[in-house]
Chain A
Amino acid sequence: DIVMTQSPDSLAVSLGERATINCKSSQSVLYSSNNRNYLAWYQQKPGQPPKLLIYWASTRESGVPDRFSGSGSGTDFTLTISSLQAEDVAVYYCQQYYYTPALTFGGGTKVEIK
């Protein structure tokens, strides 16, 4: 299975500051035929199910605030929260969907307020 490694495990950011989360896949998730990266990001708040934020590495799901952005290609990806809000405190997961049916998630990154 493809291993997804996230870093850091946790980070504390001041309100209004930028938060950056990294995700690295053990193999490329870029499909050359359509030039798309098969990488999604989810947000999970305590006691809640995950929420889809981004797919195709950089496409925001409908209704997701534009302070959330995704970037990267191949094996290295980043989720950026441009101006951290209190409601963004959560654990964030990346997920690859290139190698199916063995879908795999990263270990998660916990974002807190400094």
Chain B
Amino acid sequence: QVQLAQSGAEVKKPGASAKVSCKASGYTFTGYYMHWVRQAPGQGLEWMGWINPHRGGTNYAQKFQGRVTMTRDTSISTAYMELSSLRSDDTAVYFCARDRLQLDWRITTPQNVMDVWGQGTTVTVSS
């Protein structure tokens, strides 16, 4: 079945970077955009950006521009999200989520609806 398996929890010091992985299985990794969404403790959902796993193109929320980098390794069907210059308010659960729309020769942009989610990765920023 379609699954997204994320890497384990991380504890980082302020100013460090965190890199979360998201391994896809059960579908063609390059056929769907991948989004990243975070959720601070007891808070709502915040969209961070997406990556096109086929071409590698990215689109980041303005809030994270300059601090976030989304990459992928198609050989192992894995997407990555790296957040740098971590602050205490970056403490959150980070989710990868597949875009609902399958890409083909006509469809090259995401629908921006997320139909499959990873289990989440907790990143704690603390001195």
Chain A residues in contact with chain B, CB under 8 A?
Answer: 38, 40, 42, 49-52, 55, 61, 93, 95, 97, 100-108
The B interface, classified by DSSP as helix, strand, loop or mixed, is: strand
**B114 touching A105, Cβ below 8 Å:** no
Picked from A49, A51, A52, A102, the residue with its CB within 8 Å of the CB of B113 is A52
**A52 touching B59, Cβ below 8 Å:** no
Shortest beta-carbon distance, A106 to chain B, in Å? Answer: 7
**B49 touching A105, Cβ below 8 Å:** no
- What size tier do the contact residues of chain B reach? 20 to 34
Most B CB within 10 A of own CB, among A49, A50, A97: A49
0 or 1 for each of B40-58: is its CB under 8 Å from A? (1 = yes): 0000111101100000000
Shortest beta-carbon distance, A92 to chain B, in Å? Answer: 11
In the complex, what residues of B have CB within 8 A of residue A104's CB? Answer: 47
In the complex, what residues of A have CB within 8 A of residue B100's CB? Answer: 52, 55
**B46 touching A105, Cβ below 8 Å:** yes
Whole-angstrom CA separation of A101 from B113 in the bound complex = 12
Interface: B31 (CB within 8 A)? no
Give 28 pairs: A residue, B residue, CB < 8 Å, sorted on A: A49-B95, A49-B119, A50-B37, A50-B45, A50-B117, A52-B100, A52-B113, A52-B115, A55-B111, A55-B113, A61-B115, A93-B44, A95-B45, A95-B113, A100-B59, A101-B49, A101-B50, A101-B59, A101-B60, A102-B47, A102-B61, A102-B62, A103-B35, A103-B112, A105-B44, A105-B46, A108-B44, A108-B45
Shortest beta-carbon distance, A33 to chain B, in Å? Answer: 15
0 or 1 for each of B57-85: is its CB under 8 Å from A? (1 = yes): 00111100000000000000000000000
In the complex, what residues of A have CB within 8 A of residue B44's CB? Answer: 93, 105-108
3 smallest CB-CB distances across A and B, nearest first, come from A49-B117, A97-B112, A103-B47
